[in-house]
């Protein structure tokens, strides 16, 4: 019996070295496979070889461009690290668009389409404009319409005056001419039944002479006054009327963020109506949900008929700039721009489920708009108002 046991043990001992060799071989094989997979993933991971690019960027979109999720997609999907330098729209056509160290940018991200269009024309040396960089491509990228923010009691009165119409829980200013005439005639809030509001009917805006949003709004007003016919004759005929409207507007803020903040904090008594962008309320609702909860039932968003787009446009200056521009076609980036920051993207202003943003009174599409004015018309408008 002992001899049998010894034979069995001896047989096991002979097998063990072979098993160890086979096991070791399998382990080595698995290590090699894992290393190859990791290596291939690393080779195909754009973020491992990310390239830093530089942009001259206009205002109004700082929070979105700094968003961690946005930059993660740029890094991991497109292999881009982006450095944004702040530029005003006006500086891009007056000064050489170069970094402080004299190096060139990969793209310019305008916050106003008129400057994007104008930048692609030849520099006017007589006006002291600098030579332009060669634009390779680009187009409209982030869009948001001009809206008027008001309050429930004010909008109820404007509905009674047949100035505002409610359709599908969205409020539209369907008689802009009548509203403008009320302001020019000096009608008071009391004249339309708002006895608790003092002074004349007014719509607060930023100053069109110093503020791009204000200029866009006054471009809309001029288009409406001209009946949509922006000829030299029509413009000159209506500039005095626009100047009268400007003079009746009183004090103006220079930044829309300040104006929107005052509207929320001071309420209907101080700011019955203000001009701003649609994106502002969506951005506010996401960044300050408690604050939005407090005012959401009182706030009203009014869409002028027609309204006008504020378009942020990218002009690409290098192939890397082209890659950055293409990134805005990414569905994840487009959804983030809309749902968190209120920017409509895409060819027709995007196609989103507006209910997903959680803000009442935002329409699915913006259907009635006027085109932005050419730079020479804006220049004339601002010049006339500044007299």
User: Helices H, strands E: what count in the chain?
Assistant: 15, 10
Q: Are strands 299-304 and 137-151 parallel, antiparallel or unpaired?
A: antiparallel
Q: What distance in Å separates the CA atoms of residue 359 and residue 186, rounded to the nearest whole number?
A: 33
Calculate mean pLDDT across residues 348-360.
Answer: 71
**Beta-bridge mates of residue 308:** 370
pLDDT, tens digit (0-9, with 9 covering 90-100), for 121-137: 999 999 999 999 999 99
Select from 278, 276, 272 the least CA-distant residue to 257: 276
Checking if the pLDDT of 250 tops 60, the result is yes
Q: Which residue has the higher pLDDT, 350 or 209?
A: 209
Q: What is the pLDDT confidence band of residue 358, given thresholds at 50, 70 and 90?
A: confident
pLDDT confidence of residue 5: 46
Instruction: Give the pLDDT band of residue 254 (cuts 50, 70, 90).
Output: confident
Retrieve residue 325's tokens.
């521009």
* CATH class of the domain at 145-309+359-385: alpha beta
Distance from C-alpha of 208 to C-alpha of 303, rounded to nearest angstrom = 20
| pLDDT at residue number 223 | 95
Burial annotation 28-37 (CB, 10 A radius, 16+ → b, else e): eeeeeeeeee
Instruction: Cite the residue boundaries of each domain of the chain with CATH code 3.40.190.10.
Output: 145-309+359-385
> Distance (Å, rounded) from C-alpha 298 to C-alpha 152?
5
Task: Indicate the pTM of the whole model.
Answer: 0.85
Q: Which of 384, 12, 369, 71 is nearest to 220 (CA)?
A: 369
User: Tokens for 171?
Assistant: 């409020």
Nearest to 57 by CA among 116, 17, 7: 116
Tens digit of each residue's pLDDT (9 = 90 or more) over 56-99: 999 999 999 999 999 999 999 999 999 999 999 999 999 999 99
Mean pLDDT of all residues in 364-381? 91
Q: Which pLDDT score is estimated for 41?
A: 55
- Strand-strand pairing, 307-316 and 369-370: parallel
HSE on the CB side for 177, CA within 13 Å? 6
**Rounded distance between C-alpha atoms, residue 320 and residue 324, angstroms:** 6
């Amino acid at each position: 019996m002992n001899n049998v046991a010894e034979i069995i043990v001896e047989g096991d001992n002979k097998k063990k070295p072979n098993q160890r060799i086979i096991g070791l071989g399998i382990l080595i094989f698995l290590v090699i496979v894992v290393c190859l997979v990791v290596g291939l993933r690393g080779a195909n991971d754009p973020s491992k070889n990310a390239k830093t690019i530089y942009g001259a960027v206009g205002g109004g979109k700082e929070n979105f461009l700094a968003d961690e999720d946005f930059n993660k997609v740029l890094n991991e999907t497109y292999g881009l690290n982006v450095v944004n330098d702040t530029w005003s729209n006006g500086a891009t056509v007056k000064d050489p668009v170069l970094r402080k160290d004299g190096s060139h940018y990969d793209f310019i991200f305008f916050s106003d389409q008129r400057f994007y269009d104008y930048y692609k024309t030849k520099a006017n040396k007589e006006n002291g404009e600098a030579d332009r960089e060669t634009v390779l491509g680009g187009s409209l990228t982030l869009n948001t319409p001009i809206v008027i923010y008001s309050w429930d009691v004010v909008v109820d009165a404007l509905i009674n005056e047949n100035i505002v119409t409610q359709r599908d829980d969205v409020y539209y200013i369907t008689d802009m001419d009548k509203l403008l005439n009320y302001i020019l005639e000096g009608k008071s809030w009391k004249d339309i039944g708002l006895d608790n509001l003092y002074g004349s009917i007014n719509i607060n805006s930023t100053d069109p002479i110093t503020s791009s949003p204000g200029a866009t709004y006054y471009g809309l007003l001029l288009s409406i006054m001209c009946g949509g016919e922006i000829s030299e004759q029509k413009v000159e005929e209506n500039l005095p009327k626009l100047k009268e409207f400007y003079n009746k507007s009183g004090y103006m803020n220079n930044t829309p963020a300040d104006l929107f903040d005052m509207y929320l904090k001071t309420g209907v008594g101080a700011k019955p109506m203000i001009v701003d962008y649609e994106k502002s309320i969506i951005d506010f609702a996401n960044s300050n949900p408690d604050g939005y909860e407090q005012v959401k039932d009182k706030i009203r968003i009014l869409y002028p008929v027609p309204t006008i787009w504020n378009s942020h446009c990218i002009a690409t200056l290098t192939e890397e700039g082209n890659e950055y521009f293409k990134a805005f076609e990414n569905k994840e980036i487009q959804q983030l721009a809309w749902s968190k920051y209120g920017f409509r993207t895409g060819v027709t202003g995007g196609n989103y489920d507006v209910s997903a943003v959680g803000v009442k009174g935002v329409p699915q599409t913006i259907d009635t708009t006027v085109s932005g004015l050419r730079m020479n018309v804006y220049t004339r408008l601002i010049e006339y108002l500044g007299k």
